[in-house]
Chains A and B, each alone.
Chain A
């Protein structure tokens, strides 16, 4: 058991190291010196390159550059090109802003997808199954950025509330009930959007997983024992069907950054995704590299967590 953990941890350390190298090297895809600027690539100006050279020590040999960059990142010395603020502080601040979106979205996703998927599987071919299948396909195919505007048009015209940003500007002096109500309205749409695709995909996964388990021999055994249906499905089948989702649970963390770019962009939500978008627009390389690196770190932590969970839940690994 400990050996399994040690192996799993060791693998992740190696992966993290390689990721840190790759995240760092991405920057070298950019033109290295002012002279190398391709006249066809209007994205880089001479100042950009100069700033890059200075901040990252591009004159020094690669290993030194690498060490220098991560030393600065972890000691908090690394500063944004855009406003000179420490990168870690910036990211932390935006992380806190993203958190409510992420938490509400994740809760919506997991608490809706599982009952829906399980019910669809148990009532295969029923009206409920066909209806959820139809909506799942529709939601998977609807681009988030299109659905967002459909929802905005609907909510704004129907309820006449503003939905952009985290709160409506200039209501700091309003009574607390009003402010909370306002915050909730602002939180609602982006969370639903963040969850929509996830609910569709996850509920399909749950359904097919559940269907596969229901057809296993041991479910027939449980029925042959004369156990009531609820015990057969919710104890014997669900327990097995949930296993693969432990892995998926480990992968929700990185969605904090990658999954939220579009939604935070549309709703002008000052979170991690929008920070990434702004950094890319401003060629703020310290922030870009750090975000990539931190996202990878979160993923590795998530998958490590799911490994541990697996070990606790699945007797076949618990040796």
Chain B
């Protein structure tokens, strides 16, 4: 007798749509419900746009907002104040108003904030990109070739585990300071140094992931089929490890942004006169009682950016890993 499947009208189609949604849809459905993460994403989008437009508006000899114009008559003016009448026409701020006030040299804090946004975001992304690159390669090797012996019972995994141990032993921020102090100072060097001191997390992550993946049936099956190793690693295993690693990266970016800001604050960051949020704060610290707005703008900007990244990253992680939903 053949199975006679009867569809009761109205119930079955919904039923199907709930079961048969793709991973992407399911992911988005979960993510969307997390209002904080959604807010984080929107704020981040806003910051990206600001950073991009800021780059164009403050770039070149005659920028739309000039972060370099020094106006000694207009030192430490509060936000929303108008320029002094002695300021020549070409040096006046755009729209005739200092939106976020001026610093001790009479430079427009708003223009400097715009210029600094690019630095903060790009340092965050590039540094974490470097960390990820190193971490994924080392972690992948450690996880996949874990038991391969090198000499006298020392395995590949041992070597990389030791390398991670060594990195973890150094006081990271102090090590970064040391390296930046010795190496020629420019923005690329800062990204590289933050990157090469921060790869241990990604490495441990990928290692653990590969360790479990390696023993899963689809990888063993691929090996049994004689698929080349390189292809197994990059085509079959990496994509599976990618999602959690990307989330880790998103959560790592605010850390790198904070580190760059701290470096700039201590005077080791991007060399002047280029503005960064950190060095605007460093200038402002000398005038905290007379002109608190100078530290307030970059402080709040960093706070918001880091907060949004964290909320967004947490939301992503939760949506990717349904087990974490019961937070």
Contact = CB atoms under 8 A, between A and B. Distances in A.
Interface of A: 11, 14-15, 18-19, 22-23, 26-27, 29-30, 38, 40-41, 43, 124, 137-138, 140-146, 149-150, 152-153, 156-157, 208, 211, 215, 254-255, 257-259, 261-262, 265-266, 273, 276-277, 280-281, 283, 288, 291-292, 295-296, 299-300
A15 B262 contact: no
B129 interface: no
Given A262-B173, A283-B181, 13 more contacts: A19-B170, A140-B310, A141-B310, A143-B258, A143-B303, A146-B295, A149-B284, A259-B173, A261-B177, A292-B171, A295-B171, A296-B169, A299-B169
B289 A153 contact: yes
Contact of B184 (A11, A41, A138, A292): A41
Given A15-B165, A257-B174, A295-B174, A149 B288 contact: yes
B49 interface: no
A22 B167 CA distance: 10
Contacts of B150: none
Contacts of A157: 289
Contact of A141 (B184, B185, B285, B307): B307
A26 B306 CA distance: 31
Given A143-B303, A153-B292, A26 B182 contact: yes
Nearest to A146: B299
A11 B158 CA distance: 10
21 contacts: A15-B162, A43-B185, A140-B310, A141-B307, A143-B258, A145-B265, A146-B298, A149-B299, A153-B288, A157-B289, A254-B171, A257-B171, A258-B175, A259-B171, A259-B173, A261-B266, A273-B174, A280-B177, A280-B178, A292-B178, A296-B171
A280 B258 contact: no
Interface of B: 162, 165-166, 168-175, 177-179, 181-185, 254, 258, 261-262, 265-266, 281, 284-285, 288-289, 292, 295, 298-299, 302-304, 306-307, 310-311, 326-327
Given A30-B182, A38-B184, A254 B169 contact: yes
Contacts of A149: 284-285, 288, 292, 295, 299
Nearest to B186: A40
Given A146-B281, A215-B326, A277-B177, A141 B170 contact: no
A29 B183 contact: yes
B280 to A, nearest CB: 11
Contacts of B304: 141
B265 A141 contact: no
Contacts of A18: 162, 166
Given A43-B182, A153-B289, A276 B166 contact: no
Nearest to B183: A29
A262 B302 CA distance: 16
Contacts of A300: 169
A38 B166 CA distance: 30
B244 to A, nearest CB: 16
B117 to A, nearest CB: 15
Given A15-B165, A261-B266, A265-B266, A43 B295 contact: no
B182 A29 contact: yes
Centre residue among B171, B178, B298 by max chain A CB count within 10 A: B171
Nearest to A257: B171
B168 A299 contact: yes
Contacts of B258: 143
Contacts of B170: 19, 23, 292, 295-296
A139 B194 CA distance: 22
A237 to B, nearest CB: 15
Given A145-B262, A149-B295, A300-B169, A276 B285 contact: no
B174 A292 contact: yes
Centre residue among A149, A208, A254, A283 by max chain B CB count within 10 A: A149
A292 B266 CA distance: 19
A67 B162 CA distance: 23
Contacts of B171: 254-255, 257-259, 292, 295-296
Contacts of A283: 181
A142 B5 CA distance: 60
A258 B298 CA distance: 23
B174 A15 contact: no
Nearest to B173: A258
Centre residue among B181, B254, B307 by max chain A CB count within 10 A: B181
B188 to A, nearest CB: 13
Contacts of B183: 29
A41 B180 CA distance: 12
B38 to A, nearest CB: 15
Centre residue among A145, A255, A261 by max chain B CB count within 10 A: A145
A276 B310 CA distance: 30
B170 to A, nearest CB: 6
Contacts of B307: 137-138, 140-141
Contacts of B177: 261, 276-277, 280
